[in-house]
Chain A
Amino acid sequence: MNTFLQLLISALLVSSLYSLVAVGFTMYVGVINLANFSHGDTCVLGTFLMMPLFLYATKLGWISASTGLVILILIILLIFLTGLWGAAIYTILVKPLLAAPRLILLLATVAAGQVIREAIRVIYPNGSNPQVFPKLLPSGSLNLSGITLGYDSLTIIFLTIICILSLNFIIQKTKMGVAMRAVSQNADVAQMMGINIEQTIISVFVIGSALAGMAGILNGSYYGITKFNLGSNLGIKGFSAAVIGGLGDFKGAIVGGVLLGFIEVFAAAYIPNGSQYQDVFSFLAVIAFLIFRPSGILGEKIFEKV
């Protein structure tokens, strides 16, 4: 029983990271029908932007003084920076190619991911090798009758829930959110209602990239390590979660992320030698969904009547 609960916490942790990445993926698909394959690399970009910030803050002596608050400010600053990166990706890459076939734009995002990876290798000192990522999350753990709850895992799960709840509020209740949903359901009519489509798309890029940055640094500080090419795995897992949830479906992406996290953790634990090929199980799940339920796990289908 204890092992099971322990695994549950691990699964929730992995699920959190995947969900954060998946939500961004699914939003791009929803609004401009684009799978942004630089999304995973944006996560890694977040870690490589965070490290110098942290180093600088340490140099100024801020980290020892009031660590928690400073780290919170650093995280907010980082979310802002990766958000800005999202706006840049839109302006430089997406906007000029918006009228082109989507495949071209998709390839352009693949290239953008490559640019991030190579830029890290060239610009960051010793960038080709793994880097030690600072411990941003509280250390130590809570012992509850034999179950160890790491403060870092709990913080990650908590922050993810906060992010997802706020994003849900934005999408459901704010004007910007209504605009995003309208554009994703019918972009032409959305414009006829007076929605500024460019503003709407750019805000999706800002939010998606900011969440990716968040996922990147949470991932980095949990494992204590980051590397220039870590993004391909995070990206492909986030994409898989979004596929399981039904591309373009916000809630589905979260459910997909959770499902993927649980499959991986429990497969690794209960299948002999499972940890050596845990990715196999998650991708099997993706394939199964693509074959049997391509509209996603929540997959209610409402077509516009003619």
Chain B
Amino acid sequence: MLELTEIRVKYGKSVVIHDVSLSIQQGEIVSILGPNGSGKTTLVRSIVGLTPVVSGEIKFFNESIQKLKPHQIVAKGIVVVPEGRGIFPKMSIEENLKTGFMFIEKDKNVMNERIQEAYDRFPILGQRRNQLAGTLSGGEQTMLAVSRAMMRKPKLLLMDEPSLGLSPKLVQQTFGIIQELNQAGTSILLIEQNAVKALAICTRGYILQKGNVVLSGTREQLIADEKVHKAYFAMD
């Protein structure tokens, strides 16, 4: 459904993504692993049009999208859980949820249903619906960011380091939700540093280093790979 063909991204004069190609098929969880500064977040920004690509092509359902504006791209069915969660701190929880819906879809009844679904899933959000989102703890903000992303039942969900800064228990819970969403039919592109967790749930993966894909394959292939094993699992 999403296909990146040899995309190149520059900040100023320096190339931060070197002709990267990758793809996600319907129903997959694809993870992109890599250390800080390897270009993971830039990749997400390029997919949604916030950082322009210099060359290459990005296709979503066989339609070229790299020339579109961000709001046009996300309207095609892509939803992002941004790095650092990206909630709006001075809006109430309920308003934050609405922002995930109202700018693309119209039906108010559906919106209220989805808000209710979010409150059913995370009762704490419902209890605090009128509280400013900036007052939530890190874990609660993650619940809010994920719930906001689910407001539109996206075809493709891009998650940029959802586990960052969370307690192990919350990481577990977050990854549980990711799997649940996937089983409900959402394809997921999961950007992670936490390779152990990501490789536990993904179908395929890419390993990014300094803006290059150095390795890609199915979950099993990656886990079996000696370099991956050394880098990520040797400590376990």
- List residues of A whose CB falls within 8 A of some B CB: 175, 178-179, 181-182, 185-186, 188-198, 302-306
Q: Which of A175, A181, A188 contacts B103 (CB 8 A)?
A: A175
Whether B99 sits at the interface, judged by CB under 8 Å, is yes
A194 and B88 in contact, given A182-B99, A304-B134, A305-B137 (Cβ under 8 angstroms): no
Q: Given the complex of chains A and B, what is the CA–CA distance between A198 and B71 in angstroms?
A: 10
Q: What would 20 A/B residue contacts be, using CB atoms closer than 8 Å?
A: A179-B103, A185-B89, A188-B82, A191-B50, A192-B79, A193-B100, A193-B148, A194-B71, A194-B75, A194-B104, A195-B71, A196-B71, A197-B70, A197-B71, A303-B89, A305-B134, A305-B136, A305-B137, A305-B141, A306-B138
Q: Which residues of A contact B69 (CB under 8 A)?
A: 191, 196, 198
Q: Given the complex of chains A and B, what is the CA–CA distance between A51 and B4 in angstroms?
A: 59
Q: Which of A182, A194, A303 contacts B134 (CB 8 A)?
A: A303
Tell me whether chain B's interface is mostly helix, strand or loop, or mixed. loop
Known: A185-B90, A192-B80, A197-B71. 4 other contacts (CB 8 A): A179-B103, A191-B70, A193-B148, A194-B75
Q: Which of B86, B102, B135 contacts A188 (CB 8 A)?
A: B86
- List residues of B whose CB falls within 8 A of some A CB: 45, 48-50, 69-71, 74-75, 79-80, 82, 84, 86-91, 95, 98-100, 102-104, 132, 134-138, 141, 148, 165
A192 and B88 in contact, given A175-B102, A178-B95, A179-B103 (Cβ under 8 angstroms): no
Interface pair B91/A189, CB less than 8 Å apart: no
Question: Across the two chains, which residue of chain A brings its CB closest to B148?
Answer: A193
Closest Cβ–Cβ distance, residue B14 to chain A (whole Å)? 17
Question: Across the two chains, which residue of chain B brings its CB closest to A304?
Answer: B89
Q: Which residues of B contact A175 (CB under 8 A)?
A: 102-103
Closest Cβ–Cβ distance, residue A190 to chain B (whole Å)? 8
Interface pair B91/A182, CB less than 8 Å apart: yes
Interface pair A178/B99, CB less than 8 Å apart: yes
Interface pair A181/B50, CB less than 8 Å apart: no
Q: Given the complex of chains A and B, what is the CA–CA distance between A192 and B99 in angstroms?
A: 10
Q: Which residues of B contact A194 (CB under 8 A)?
A: 71, 74-75, 103-104
Closest Cβ–Cβ distance, residue B10 to chain A (whole Å)? 14
